[in-house]
Amino acid sequence: MFDSPHRRFNPLTGDWVLVSPQRTKRPWLGQVEKVQPEKLPRYDPTCYLCPGNERAGGIKNPDYDGTFVFDNDFAALTPGPLQESHASDHPLLVSVPESGVCRVVCFSPRHDLTLPELELPVIENIITTWTQQTGELGAKDFIQNVQVFENKGAMMGCSNPHPHSQIWAQSQLPNEITKELASQSVYFHEHGQPLLADYLAEERKRGERVVFQNAHFTALVPFWGVWPFELLLIAHRPSAYLMELTSIEITALAEVLRQIAIRFDNLFETSFPYSMGFHQAPFDGQLHSEWTLHAHFYPPLLRSASVRKFMVGYELLAMPQRDITPETAAERLREVSSIHYKKSGN
Ligand SMILES: [Zn+2]
Ligand SMILES: [Zn+2]
């Protein structure tokens, strides 16, 4: 059905992606090499995220044994109510003030254990921390959006290998949330159902793009995915915020996150880099029945631990393009082992 060039529509953002399945048959001239993973110590005395170590400005980390949260020492946003709007002397030169809070969430004291290598209760604790932080930050008067995200791997520009995530809470909606809110609102108004609930039902019926699911969450390669192994993780129960998750749902979410991360690592037997993050409804005091809690995973790797996809040229100037289809990507992620390759002794 999908063996010739076509476009696919992303109903969440209104963007299109060009899919060129015939190109997966072209000869590959680049080198595919095995990358030996760097062996990290349990504790690194030079790491500013490890317990007991010193951070910027001479602040000392506590001897934490679970998650550890602190305000980013080099925050992109500063807190407090918005300053008076900038005076603009030209309609094409528009800027508005922004304020917010940027925090870092260390996953665990272990410098060497990434998400797929952590035990389930540790991942549950990470989700609970994200949830508490989201609730605390979202309750502030000047906060409209809370973005929980993880940047994993040097390839994604992550500056410290100690597994951690970030939370940026800000006073205005960022671009992606603005687009997704508009699309989901229009859809809910027209159909009386959340867009992602309808999409999830259809994907679960078809199954071909589903990678892993349990009673409360489904991870799938979206029909309109741009990155080769992009994933969308959708909550089954209508919910708009992480704080709405029950303890059973947190356990289920931990299982799906762990499975996704294990399968990613197993694909090329490497610590699989990605940017991932949750999309929650705006924190504006309104009821957001149109919204479904979900997370996006954007991994850059294409065919090995060292061969990545670049968003350059045509993609920067025209539109995103992919060769491997979302159906093939989902099949590959379903086929790999559910046990981490480091544990399975390979
Ligand atoms: Zn560390
Ligand atoms: Zn989203």
CA of 275 to the centre of ligand 2 (A): 13
For the ranges 24-28, 119-123, 252-256, 337-341, the lowest mean pLDDT is seen at 24-28
**Rg of the chain, C-alpha, whole Å:** 21
CA of 166 to the centre of ligand 1 (A): 15
- pLDDT higher than threshold 80 for residue 34: no
CA of 154 to the centre of ligand 2 (A): 24
- Taking residues 25-49, report their average pLDDT: 78
Instruction: Write the burial class of residue 346 (CB in 10 Å: 0-12 exposed, 13-18 middle, 19+ buried).
Output: exposed
For the ranges 143-147, 263-267, 274-278, 340-344, the lowest mean pLDDT is seen at 340-344
The token duo for 310 is 């670049």
- pLDDT higher than threshold 80 for residue 192: yes
Q: Which amino acid is at 48?
A: Y
Q: pTM for the full model? A: 0.95
Give the pLDDT band of residue 29 (cuts 50, 70, 90).
low
- pLDDT higher than threshold 60 for residue 65: yes
Which listed residue (162, 164, 236, 279) is catalytic? 164
User: Can you tell me the distance from the alpha carbon of 322 to that of 296, in angstroms, rounded to the nearest whole number?
Assistant: 17
Catalytic (active site) residue 294:
no
- pLDDT higher than threshold 80 for residue 85: no
Query: How do strand 16-19 and strand 321-322 relate by DSSP bridges?
Result: parallel
- pLDDT higher than threshold 60 for residue 31: no
CA of 141 to the centre of ligand 1 (A): 34
Q: Quick check: 254 and 115 in contact, CB under 8 A?
A: no
- Taking residues 227-234, report their average pLDDT: 98
The token duo for 26 is 């072209």
C-alpha 206 chain-centroid distance: 24
- Taking residues 109-131, report their average pLDDT: 98
Ligand nearest to the CA of 179: 2
